[in-house]
Copies of this chain bind each other. A is one copy, B any other.
């Protein structure tokens, strides 16, 4: 036995625990559940001092790949939280030399500097054996998903030692679009809250941040073309805005986690805050044949509206790299339009705006919905009928209606989200394929930075698993419960203020307050 300064606690425990490994093994602790996962009771002890990530020889990406270099660093801290905090650098007895463990990552295509998109291949294979793990994927985005799964396979015993069981994973997402909406108009969310949400999204394998950035109550986006929109339309022109640099930071933080940023500039309704910085944009409402002084949706009858919208959208398309821009189109107040004689004439001429049941670009910009527009089913309890109808018309669809998780209720309401079956509607196999995914929505009427995180997590995880995993293997919420409880504790360990699912405790409670 020799004295040294470091590296011993893990080893001592490793030796001791070989004896009891049969009872304390951890199985299937990955959320969302991989498509195929096989674990054995054999396990390996990980020593942070001898642990490394490396690029496989045949990997298209090598050192210098921004996305993966950063991910290696990030996941090292996630996997070894105690070590990173320095608490294991204590004087201890050495029982034996720690063994090395190498995670070799190989991707087929480089693409380290690009952005994830709707066609990104997120599949990966992960094989964990003695002293090593081999992670293979087509893209760096798939490698990120694999690293996340790998990090969830590592666990600590009561003495703080790190272990991983021998594991084989073949994994890929069920749906390509797994989104989460934040609403930064009804309440302003500070930048750090958005970045933290992106972190937690990556842990749950969400891949689209739908940024509902502006709406009636406020316009926090600081436009370079129209600075008055936030100067006059934000809650406060300095403290409650997103500067261009904030937006870039969000996009880059998301990119590093394989997350797309789809901005929404909802119009022609939901634009009250726009009117403050852009006089003449909104429709003057009429009462008794004269303007009442209040304003309705964007005024579709005048040329300046189209010029303004074109310039703004041009900027948006320049700032946000994603090929999608969400144009809202929901809940247009027709009463004001109908009160205005010019708009009434215009509507008669255009024969449009007769429906507003879907959140899509509307008559203002397009007289018909083009076939390649993705429709989002966001309203109503009978969303199955909408799914059926929209896919029959050949549109690709996103499901959001059952995942408005800002609607809280007492108890384990994640079970409702978990029970959703996005392809369980009347239609052909071809129609089912048109469901490209779904998204969780956290609308902001009653949510700001004070309660955002505990309302989101772990409640959003239910949809995350539904959108990623095989439905047949994840039908039973009772079976999912202990795995979700464990994942929630893992979120706490990673600094996410995720609320409890039920009575109990985590070994490491949340200590971020």
Chain A positions near chain B (C-beta within 8 angstroms): 186-188, 190, 192-193, 217-218, 235-236, 239-240, 406-412, 444-451, 453-455, 492, 497-505, 507, 509-513
Taking a contact as CB atoms under 8 Å apart, the answer to whether A240 and B500 are in contact is no
Smallest CB-CB separation from A445: which chain B residue? B503
Assuming A217-B503, A503-B217, A513-B192, is B497 touching A450 (CB within 8 A)? Answer: yes
Taking a contact as CB atoms under 8 Å apart, the answer to whether A513 and B193 are in contact is yes
Taking a contact as CB atoms under 8 Å apart, the answer to whether A500 and B448 are in contact is yes
Write the nearest CB–CB distance from A406 to chain B, whole angstroms.
8
Residues of B within 8 A of A511 (CB): 190
Assuming A240-B505, A503-B445, is B450 touching A498 (CB within 8 A)? Answer: yes
Of the candidates B445, B448, B499, the one whose C-beta lies within 8 Å of that of A446 is B499
Residues of B within 8 A of A498 (CB): 450
- The A contact surface, by secondary structure, is loop
Taking a contact as CB atoms under 8 Å apart, the answer to whether A502 and B190 are in contact is no
Of the candidates B186, B444, B449, B510, the one whose C-beta lies within 8 Å of that of A449 is B510
Assuming A408-B410, A409-B408, is B500 touching A187 (CB within 8 A)? Answer: yes
Assuming A408-B409, A410-B408, is B503 touching A450 (CB within 8 A)? Answer: no
Taking a contact as CB atoms under 8 Å apart, the answer to whether A449 and B410 are in contact is no
Question: Complex Cα distance A511/B191, Å?
Answer: 12
The 8 closest A-B pairs by CB, nearest first: A451-B454, A235-B505, A451-B499, A186-B503, A450-B497, A450-B499, A448-B500, A217-B503
Assuming A236-B505, A500-B187, A505-B236, is B408 touching A450 (CB within 8 A)? Answer: no
Assuming A407-B410, A409-B409, A454-B454, is B447 touching A500 (CB within 8 A)? Answer: yes
Taking a contact as CB atoms under 8 Å apart, the answer to whether A410 and B411 are in contact is no
Write the nearest CB–CB distance from A50 to chain B, whole angstroms.
29
Question: Complex Cα distance A74/B406, Å?
Answer: 37
Residues of B within 8 A of A411 (CB): 445-446
Taking a contact as CB atoms under 8 Å apart, the answer to whether B504 and A187 are in contact is yes
9 further contact pairs, Cβ within 8 A, besides A236-B507, A410-B446, A446-B500: A188-B505, A239-B509, A407-B410, A411-B445, A446-B499, A446-B501, A447-B500, A448-B509, A451-B454
Write the nearest CB–CB distance from A490 to chain B, whole angstroms.
14
Write the nearest CB–CB distance from A18 to chain B, whole angstroms.
25
Write the nearest CB–CB distance from A88 to chain B, whole angstroms.
18
Taking a contact as CB atoms under 8 Å apart, the answer to whether A492 and B450 are in contact is yes
Assuming A190-B509, A450-B454, A454-B451, is B408 touching A503 (CB within 8 A)? Answer: no
Question: Complex Cα distance A236/B508, Å?
Answer: 11
Taking a contact as CB atoms under 8 Å apart, the answer to whether A505 and B218 are in contact is yes
Question: Complex Cα distance A185/B502, Å?
Answer: 12
Write the nearest CB–CB distance from A216 to chain B, whole angstroms.
8
Assuming A409-B410, A410-B408, A513-B512, is B446 touching A217 (CB within 8 A)? Answer: no
